[in-house]
Amino acid sequence: MNIPLKKMEKVKNIVLIAHDNRKKDLLEWVIYNRGTLSRHRLFATGTTGKIIQEKADLPVHRFISGPLGGDQQIGAKIVSGEIDFMVFFWDPLTAQPHDPDVKALLRIAVLYNVPMACNRSSADFVISSSLMDEPYNRVIVDYESRLPNVEQNKI
């Protein structure tokens, strides 16, 4: 059986995202883990990336703001295999105007088996894993084979 894999290199592509009420929490986590994060390539949505660049003095490739399409940009990078790990401190108590985009981004990350941390504890566990500093083959589930056969369903 041929299992599709996505090889993650030793240097990971990590995307950092935080809703407004969680930006301070994410920044504190980034500063605490600055040494580890400095060994990887960082990506972020607009404002979050700017804050990390300025306050943590780390280079960050910035996408546009999440509500303006940054979530979709990141989702596209996940689909193309360019993101290895997502840290997304989302706000569970505040409705976001772009909630459908957030849900779609979380769905894509799960679909492509991207490690994801949505709070400090899970981020601590993932960032401290020995797998962060070595190549890793991420299994990609073949969801396409589970889709109904379109030809059989034609009217």
- How many helices (DSSP H) and strands (DSSP E) are in the chain? 6, 7
Decide if 43 contacts 33 (C-beta within 8 A): no
Distance of CA 111 to the CA centre of its chain: 12
Q: Which of 25, 57, 71, 133 is catalytic?
A: 71
The total number of residues written for the chain in this structure: 155
Active-site annotation holds for 57? no
Burial of 36 (0-12, 13-18, 19+ CB in 10 A): middle
Element (H, E) at 136: strand 136-139
Containing H/E element for 88?
Answer: strand 85-89
Q: Which residues are catalytic?
A: 71
